[in-house]
Amino acid sequence: MEKLLEVEDLNVSFGTATDAVRAVRGLNLSVAAGEIVALVGESGCGKSLSALAVMKLIPPTAKATGSIRYNGVELLSSADSVVRSIRGKEIGMVFQEPMTSLNPAFTVGDQIAETLRFHLKISRSDAARRAIDLLGKVRIAAPEQRAKAYPHQLSGGMRQRVMIAIALSCNPKFLILDEPTTALDVTTQAQVLEIVRELRSESDTGVLLITHDLGVVADLADRVVVMYAGSPVERAEVGDLFANPSHPYTNGLLNAVPRRSDGIRRKLADIPGTVPVVRSQPDRCVFSDRCTFAESDCLEGEPAMSELSSRHQVACLHPLYKDAGVLN
C-alpha cells in the first residue's frame, strides 16, 4: 500500500538543552492510504502532541526532531508556506475539543466556507453551498438552517461533526482524529465512527486515530501503536494486540476496560502509580516502577523495540507473549 505518512524517530521536548521535558521520544509509525492506525495511551503520554507535530502546530516553546514525511515531503524542515498549503487541504485534523476549536463569533457555515475559499479559491456563494453539502454529509439534520447557527447553539455531537466537515472540506488524502468521540453519547459516537468508515471506503483516506477508548480502537483501527511516557512500547495489528497484549502496560490497559460479563460487583483493574515525567535519557525501563513483572535487568537501560513477529513489536525485555501468542 502507498504510504501517506511516515514518522521516524520523532522527539518533542520542552525546556532548555540541560533541563528539557522529553514529551515524545523515538516515535515511529506509518499510515498507508485507506488504513486506520490508532495511537493509544493514558492522558499525557504524548499522543496529541505527536499529532500537532505532524501538523507542525507544536507550541513555540517546544522543539521537534526526527523525520515526518507526508507523500515524500519532509514537513519538519519545510518552509511554513509549504506546510500551510498541505495543512487543511491534503491533511485534515479534527481537534480534541470542538468548542474551543470553533470561533464563537462566526456561524459554522462561514467557518467551513472560509477553509474552502482559502484552499480552493472558489467564490463566496460556491463555498456557502459546499458548506451546506458538507453539513449534510456528516449527517446534520436541516443543514441549511444549521449553517446559520453559532457553535454555542449546537450540541457537542453536532459541533464535533462540524469539525469533521471542516476537516473533510477539501477532500484530504489524510485525516487526523484527536479523541473524536470524547464526551459523546453512544448513539452520536456510533454515527461519528460510521462517517469515518465511509470516508475510508469511499475515498481511500488514511487516518491517524488518537484515542484512549480501546473499544473504538477494536471497532475501527487496522493497526495500533501504544505509547507510555512519550515513547512507543508496542506496535501490532489490532487483532494481534487484543489477542496477545505483550507489553505489561498494554495488558494493564486492556484489563482496565469493563466487560459485560464481569458483573456489577467486579472491581476494575488499575495500574498502580503515575506516569513519570521524563527529563533525560532513561537508565531503566520507564514502566518498571509500575510493572508487576519487572526483573533486575529492567533497571539496566531502556529496552528497544524488538520483533515478536512481522506484525507485532514490543519494547519489553520480558514480554507476556512470544512467538504467535505463546505465553511467556
68: β partners: 7
Q: What is the mean pLDDT of the chain?
A: 89
What lies within 8 Å, CB to CB, of 79 at 6+ separation is none
pTM for the predicted model, two decimal places: 0.90
What's the pLDDT band for 11 if we cut at 50, 70, 90?
very high
99 or 160: which carries more pLDDT confidence? 160
Q: Can you state the angle between helices 156-168 and 124-137, rounded to 10 degrees?
A: 120
Contact 246, 258 (CB under 8 A): no
pLDDT tens-place string over residues 115-138: 999 999 999 999 999 999 999 988
Q: Which residues belong to CATH 3.40.50.300 in the chain?
A: 3-90+172-327
Mean pLDDT of 183-208: 85
- Non-local (6+) Cβ contacts of 43 within 8 A are 212
Let me know the angle formed at the C-alpha of 212 by 206 and 216, rounded to the nearest 5 degrees: 60
Residue identified by cell 463569533 is 105
pLDDT, tens only, 29-65 = 999 999 999 999 988 899 999 999 999 999 999 999 9
- CA–chain centroid gap for 114, Å, is 25
Residue range 3-90+172-327, CATH number: 3.40.50.300
